[in-house]
Homo-oligomer: A and B are copies of this chain.
Amino acid sequence: MYQDQIIIDGLQYCRWDRDYFMILQQSGISAIHVTLVYHEDARQTLTRFGQWNRLFEQNADLIVPVYNAQDIRAAKANGKVGVFFGAQNCSPIDDEIDLIEVMRNQGLLIMQLTYNNQSLLATGCYEQCDNGITRFGKQVIQEMNRVGMVIDMSHSAERSTLEAIEYSSRPICISHANPTFAHDALRNKSTEVLQALAQSGGLIGFSLYPFHLPNGSQCKLTDFCEMVAKTADLIGVNHLAIGSDLCLNQPQSVLEWMRNGRWSKAMDYGEGSSSNSGWPDALPWFAPQNGMRNIYHGLLEYGFSQAETQQIIGKNWLNFLETSLIKQQ
């Protein structure tokens, strides 16, 4: 039964308020990977942690912070929604190697090495050229491995992603992206990347963001399940999960912050365009109340076994976090 399962959404950036936490709780989600920051630097990241501490204090009946896999099981057992944090960019560490452990101790469990642009560590998927992992980046990967902070390459370019997989001594994740064979987009991942990811024990969370899907907002649940099935044929079901990239109730200004940060004077439209600059239309079958439930049933109907469906809907994330978050000595 759906309600007995560990359900994990491997990326959301919604407007976080009590109403939304109630919806999350009712949806049966056990834990979500919350994007804490997009472009915020170290100092601003502390403010985001502070804001979330306040949310935890005010909504202790609904949500609970997650620092390890056991916290997710406890959240599930207590009927609460576990929240674990990730950064979509490496901006929280500024240019300082020692801030990795500081941020990890604060509760930053996952960090992308780049957002769409070149970072100090690696190349983002929107740059024209990709020179792979930088000198600083190599040290950061080693340090993230040491302290048990998960490397996420969702918004990184091809070569950088392959090198991150190669240089990392621990499996990495692509928390929210889809295969390019399903939809060819700069943000999606090549078959070569998916195979290297799986061979190293990594995880990909399928995105529900329309710009990443075949037929965009018209993508049907069966189309989505077909994409999952083809990926399972390619790399096996052990590496598949969900990272919906759900961004609900956010104003246009948040979308513009995600796309432009502080770096652009001209308006950058990201995956959109000047004539299509807003949030894409939501998928009717992926509303927050029942989106994960619909995927669960959709996968079963498509032909996945009970065990496989449970893996994809949450257990793979749980297993991945179980080992990835342990600090090495």
Contact = CB atoms under 8 A, between A and B. Distances in A.
B95 A261 contact: yes
Given A120-B118, A263-B96, A131 B134 contact: no
B136 A263 contact: yes
Interface string A103-126: 000000000000001111001001
Q: Which of A39, A91, A119 counts the most chain B CB atoms within 10 A?
A: A119
**Interface SS of chain A:** loop
A62 B117 CA distance: 45
Contact of A139 (B41, B96, B135, B265): B265
A136 B117 contact: yes
A14 interface: no
25 contacts: A39-B95, A41-B95, A91-B95, A94-B262, A95-B262, A97-B264, A97-B265, A117-B120, A117-B135, A117-B136, A118-B131, A118-B135, A120-B120, A120-B263, A126-B135, A127-B131, A127-B134, A128-B132, A135-B263, A135-B264, A136-B264, A139-B264, A139-B266, A142-B265, A143-B265
Oligomer copy total = 2
A261 B136 CA distance: 11
Contacts of A136: 117-118, 263-264
Contacts of A98: 262, 265
A97 B127 contact: no
Given A117-B120, A118-B118, 15 more contacts: A95-B262, A97-B262, A97-B263, A97-B264, A98-B265, A118-B120, A118-B135, A120-B120, A126-B135, A128-B131, A128-B132, A129-B131, A129-B132, A130-B131, A136-B263
